[in-house]
Every structure is written in structure tokens, then in C-alpha cells.
Amino acid sequence: MDLSLLKSKFRGSMLGALVGDCTGSPYDNGDQLTSGMKLVLQKSFDKLEGPPFKAPVVQFTDDSAMTYSLAKSLIDRKELDVVDVAKKFVKRYYQEPNRGYGMGVVTVFQKLRGNKFTDVSSPAEEQFNGQGSWGNGGAMRVAPVALFSYENYDKLLDTVRRVTRITHTHKVGIDGAILQATAIYQSLRLDPSQELNVVNFIDDLTCKMDPIEKDEEGLGLSEPQPYKMQLRVMKSLMSEDDQNLSDERVIQKLGNSVAALYSVPTAIFCFLRAQKPITGIQTDNPFRRAVQYAISLGGDTDTIGSMTGAIAGAFYGEEKINSNLLQHCEASEEFRILGDRLFELSVAR
Ligand code: F2R
Ligand code: MG
């Protein structure tokens, strides 16, 4: 692939994650969006993408704070150093605790600080009576790992597993992060000037998730390969007519919650569905369509928006992310630079 396109894709993934978080956070109250709120969302995107106007920047949340820390650690250390990542997560949390972190992860941070990072495994393992978290907090921050591991999928798997375990040790939480990283990894490799074959994209994800989910350790899940099941559902939804596919049905089938299982597949679906026009989302820009659609599904809007943005940005590259919109997102220049540094580290060594 042409290196300037690949560099644009690295930037696009980091910026896409940021844009989805910033634009999704005002709608993040766990509920579905009313039709009035969807109109507000449409107008808000129109305004942010329109002629420049003076306004306070839209602040990012815990999603981007943790994505930033993870990218910075990989760049500083040139390898995964889980103690350094944990320190950066915790330091940033105590500097800016009001970024919307959930209570679960805050407990992990308190314990990590309490043991002075001598044990970075136990705090996450102790979560939820020793089950570990299946939340989407591992998946929401994983984009830098997909970029860092661009040339080696086994490295991606190992790095995602180890970095996710700092806060999330439930297999469903870890596998959700793997699925999200894999979707970015696949998107980086595709040519955005060619029509995306959505069936192949889902089939490739399914093939990659199969051995990962077979690696079960008797967790007693009712569905032994839950992400493969969600990918099957996604494929079936993709074959339906746009007019008949309501937001309610998508939410009912794929979910929109803080659970990795009910948000990572949703983000991938939003990216794929936005390859074509979607009723009710008025834009010609497929990157915006994907992110706006993800937010319009409600629920965990900042995180599903961010995960969708990271995948869509990795596919389309920076060019499809409106520059006026970026001006309104906090720290967009820093995120662009992180994309460049990860590109230099992984590709242009
Ligand atoms: N949580 C939020 N936002 C609400 C924050 C409100 C805050 N007070 C404020 O506004 O300032 N957002 C962030 O959380 C999501 C990522 O969550 P993460 O990191 O996975 O958290 P956690 O706590 O590990 O899991 C989330 C919830 O899932 C349920 N859960 C997880 N594992 C469970 C298990 N094994 N058994 C039972 N329940 C489990 C719990 O309800 C957890 O609270 C992102 O949206 C991010 O933006
Ligand atoms: Mg969230």
C-alpha cells in the first residue's frame, strides 16, 4: 500500500476514535435517542462541520484519556510495558478524575496506586467477585495497539491480551478488545477507493475469532463463542433492506450497552452499514455517517461512537474526517501526532 495512504489511515484511526468520543459524549446517558435528539445530533454535526465558528472545544472523556495514555506508552517504550501503561492510566485519572470514568475501573486504579504498581494483575482479577470485568473499557482504548502491531497479527493478539488485563480480565472483555483491534487491523489493509465487501469483512473477522473463542476455560457461558454469534447476527442484519432495519431492531439484536459483547459488534456494524446511505442520516461523508449513526443508536454513545470512529478512520484515512469538525474536538492535534508516531514506529522504521 502507498505509504502516504497508510499514514493517513494511522492518523484517521486515532482521530476517528477521538471524534467519536467527543461527538458522542453529550448523548451518553445510557438511553435511546428520541427522534428530536437525532435531529439535534444531525444539526450539531452540520454545524461543527460547517464554516468555522468560535465555541469551546468539545471535551473528550475517559475513552480518549486512556487511548492517549496507551499510545504514549507504546511510543515512549517502543514495546508494551504494562507497568508503564498502568502508571500512565492512573496518573492521568488522578490529574483529571472527571472525565466520566466508571466506578469499576476507578477501584482498579485505587488498588494499583495502593500497591505502588508492584502487582498490576490482582486489582483487575479481583473485580466483580473475581470474575473480572466484561465491560467495553478494554476495547474502547485499543486502537493504538492495532496500529502498533500493524505488521504482526500474533503480536496484536498478545499485546491486546496483556494490555487489556490491566483492567479487564473476563474473557468476554478481553475478546471484545481483540475483536475491535482486529476490525481496525483489517480496515488498515483495505483500499478505501474500492467498494468494501462487507460479507468478506465479517467472514474474515469470524475466521480470526474462531480459534480465539475456542480457547475456552470452562467459563460456563451460555454461548461458548458469543462474538461469533454476534458476527452471524451482524451478517444477517447487513443483508436486510435499509428501509426495514429500524434502530430499535439493531439495538435489540446487537445491543448498545457498556458490555463489550453488546457494543463492539455494534460499532463494527455501524462502520459496515455506513458504507451505503442510511435513512435518517443526512451526509455524503461515509466516515461521518458511521459515527453519527453509532451515536444515534443511543446507549453508550461516546464509546460506541469512538470504537466506530477508530475503525472507520482506519479504513478511510484522515481525508474523510472533516477538518472543521476536528477543530472543535479537544486535543485533535495531539491525536494526529500520536498517529504519526505510531506509523513511524510500526511501518516507517
Ligand atoms: N462508565 C462510564 N460512564 C459513566 C460514568 C459516570 C461517572 N460517574 C461520571 O459521569 O463521571 N463510562 C465508561 O465506562 C465504560 C467502560 O467501562 P469499563 O471500563 O469496562 O468499566 P467496568 O466498571 O469494568 O464495567 C462496566 C460495567 O459493566 C458491568 N460489569 C462488567 N463486568 C461485570 C461482571 N463480571 N459482572 C457484573 N457486571 C459487570 C458493571 O455494571 C460495570 O459497571 C465506557 O462507556 C466508558 O466511557
Ligand atoms: Mg462510554
DSSP sequence for 105-169: HHHHHHHHHHTTTS-SSHHHHTTTTTT---BTTTGGG-HHHHHHTTT-HHHHHHHHHHHHTTT--
Q: Given this model, what pLDDT does residue 244 score?
A: 86
Q: Which three cell numbers stand for residue 319?
A: 481525508
Residues 52-69 pLDDT 10s: 898 889 999 999 999 999
Q: DSSP H helical segments within the chain, as ranges?
A: 3-24, 35-49, 62-77, 82-95, 103-114, 122-125, 143-148, 153-164, 171-188, 198-214, 226-238, 247-254, 264-273, 286-296, 301-316, 323-327, 332-346
pLDDT of residue 168: 98
**Cβ atoms of 146 and 185 closer than 8 Å:** yes
What pLDDT does residue 220 have? 62
Q: Which ligand is nearest to the CA of 221?
A: 1
**Is 63 assigned a ligand-binding role in the annotation?**
yes
**CA distances, 188 to each of 10, 11, 114, 160, 248 (Å):** 8, 11, 39, 17, 31
Mean pLDDT across 240-251: 92
248-292 pLDDT, tens digit per residue, is: 999 999 999 999 999 999 999 999 999 999 999 999 999 999 999
Residue 108: all three cell numbers together: 482498579
The full set of domains in the chain, from first to last, is 3-346 (1.10.4080.10)
Band (pLDDT 50/70/90 cuts) for residue 223 is confident
Q: Looking at ligand 1, which residue's alpha carbon is closest to its atom 11?
A: 100
Q: Kindly tell me if the per-residue pLDDT of 207 is higher than 70.
A: yes
Q: Which ligand is nearest to the CA of 130?
A: 1
Give the nearest ligand 1 atom to 135 CA. 20
DSSP 245: -
The residue whose grid cell reads 470474575 is: 131
Backbone dihedral angles phi then psi of residue 271, each to the nearest 5 degrees: -60, -45
DSSP one-letter code for 225: S
pLDDT of residue 282: 97
What is the spatial distance between Cα 192 and Cα 171, in angstroms, rounded to a whole number? 33
pLDDT value, residue 56 = 82
Maximal CA-CA distance, the chain: 56
CA of 175 to the centre of ligand 1 (A): 17
Quote the pLDDT of residue 124. 98
Q: Kindly give the distance from the C-alpha atom of residue 102 to the centroid of ligand 2, in angstroms, as a whole number.
A: 9
pLDDT attached to residue 214: 84
* Interval between CA 263 and ligand 2 midpoint (Å): 10
Lowest mean pLDDT among 27-31, 96-100, 208-212, 340-344: 27-31
CB atoms within 10 A of CB 161: 17
Query: What is the CA(112)–ligand 1 centre distance, in A?
Result: 18
Q: Quote the ligand 1 centre to 243 CA distance (angstroms).
A: 33
Which ligand sits closest to the CA of 101?
A: 1
Ligand 1 site-directed mutation target among 109, 258, 295, most atoms within 8 Å of CB: 258
pLDDT, tens only, 136-171: 999 999 999 999 999 999 999 999 999 999 999 999
Return the exposure string of 115-133: e unless at least 16 CB atoms fall within 10 Å of the residue's CB, then b. Answer: eeeeebeebbeebeeeebb
Rounded Cα–Cα distance for residues 14 and 342 (Å): 10
Q: What is the pTM of this model?
A: 0.97
pLDDT surpassing 60 at residue 218: no
Q: What is the pLDDT of residue 325?
A: 97
Average pLDDT, whole number, for the chain? 95
Res. 217: pLDDT tops 80: no
3-state SS class at 272: helix
Ligand 1 atom with the shortest distance to the CA of 132 = 35
Q: How many CB atoms lie under 10 A from the CB of residue 45?
A: 22
Measured from CB, residues less than 6 Å from any atom of ligand 1 are 61-63, 98, 100, 102, 104-105, 128, 131, 133-137, 140, 170, 258, 300, 302-303
Residues 335/143, Cβ–Cβ less than 8 Å: no
- Ligand 1 centroid to Cα of residue 102, in Å, is 5
Task: Say if residue 221's pLDDT is above 90.
Answer: no
Q: What is the pLDDT of residue 341?
A: 98
Tell the residue nearest (CA) to atom 35 of ligand 1: 133
Ligand 1 atom closest to Cα of 28?
A: 3
